[in-house]
Structure 1
Amino acid sequence: MSRTSLLDREVGRAMSALSAAAKRGLGDPALAELVMIRASQLNHCAFCLDMHLAIAREQGVSERQLDMLSGWEEAGDVFDGRERAALALTEAVTVLTDGFVPDEVYVEAGRRFAAAELAHLVALVTAVNSWNRVMVARRIPPGGYTP
């Protein structure tokens, strides 16, 4: 199988279904894109960055938020409390340097999201991390996404 052959059709459908269900359950398309962009930044996935930045703009995410996303912790009021909690959880689930998500990060996300939303947020971060790993492993370059 060549690197340009992305995924087995069945696996691709399953991953796409997971991503779509997680986004729907989160209920905020702009926030979902911020989460997927941040995970893709951490994973150095150029394809996913290119795609999710385009989608975020379509969803009305401001250029200021997109510009400040990599420094969200220091960005002051550019991101609200819900966005900050989602981004902190995204980083904790994506990086897992200590082998777990810190309790304070999970508790704060739980304060900002209903239980079902939180479950979908974790699923979304898991899904985008899977896509990032596929794209990076297969060395899929940016520019292939068309809305």
Structure 2
Amino acid sequence: MTQTLATRSRLKIYKASPELYDAMMVLSTAAAKDVDPALGELIKIRASQMNRCAFCLDMHTRDARKIGVSEQKLDLLSAWAEAAGVFDDAERAALALTEAITELGHAGVSDDVYEDAAAVFSDRELGQVIAMAVTINAWNRINAAVRTPPPRR
């Protein structure tokens, strides 16, 4: 069953609550510190795909292209686990962790997923990857709740 978007306009949340936007930007900046920018964009895009956040997908795919993420990686990102040889070990671990955080169920993040990520990232890097996945999920949920549209180009 296809869900249709409401025709009624929703809250312009960042205008109504600018401190929310400011706080999210502080969190985003902190989460991105010391994370490879290309890896960061892959994390943001994958979570945004899963959360169906058109605004974030539009923004982060454009940002990824600007910093040189390959079209092949962008094309295969939704099937990264099946794309042998396209994503390196760090990318695969970060994407698995991002998916686990995004789909956080009753079991939480499995030990296997966590241990795979811990094996390729330092403690600092692992903390940053976790923070980045959590942050983009927050952005996705805010934008999905108010249906922030991608800009018209």
Q: TM-score, normalised by structure 1?
A: 0.92
Pairwise CA distance, 1:122: 0.6
Identify the residue that residue 25 of structure 1 maps to in structure 2: 34
Q: Quick one: distance in 2 between partners of 1:60 and 1:123?
A: 23
State the SS of the aligned residue for 1:118.
Answer: helix
Identify the residue that residue 20 of structure 2 maps to in structure 1: 11
Letter in 2 for 1:119: G
Pairwise CA distance, 1:5: 3.4
CA deviation profile, 1:85-144 (whole Å, cap 9, x unmatched): 000000000101344000010001001110011101111111000000010000111126
Letter in 2 for 1:107: E
Q: Specify every segment of 5 or more residues in structure 1 that has no aligned partner in the other structure, as ranges.
A: none
Identify the residue that residue 109 of structure 1 maps to in structure 2: 117
State the SS of the aligned residue for 1:78.
Answer: coil
State the SS of the aligned residue for 2:13.
Answer: coil
Structure 2 residue 47 is the aligned partner of structure 1 residue 39:
yes
Identify the structure with bigger relative contact order (alpha carbons < 8 Å, sequence gap 6+): 1
Letter in 2 for 1:23: A
Structure 2 residue 88 is the aligned partner of structure 1 residue 94:
no
Letter in 1 for 2:13: S
**Which structure 1 residue ranges, 4+ long, deviate > 6 Å from structure 2?**
none
Pairwise CA distance, 1:64: 0.1
Letter in 1 for 2:90: R
Pairwise CA distance, 1:55: 0.3
Identify the residue that residue 60 of structure 2 maps to in structure 1: 52
Q: Quick one: distance in 2 between partners of 1:25 and 1:12?
A: 22
Q: TM-score, normalised by structure 2?
A: 0.89
Letter in 2 for 1:22: A
Structure 2 residue 93 is the aligned partner of structure 1 residue 85:
yes
Q: Specify every segment of 5 or more residues in structure 2 that has no aligned partner in the other structure, as ranges.
A: 1-9
Tell me the number of residue pairs that the alignment of Structure 1 and Structure 2 aligns.
Answer: 143
Structure (1 or 2) with the larger CA radius of gyration: 2
**Root-mean-square deviation over aligned CA pairs:** 1.4
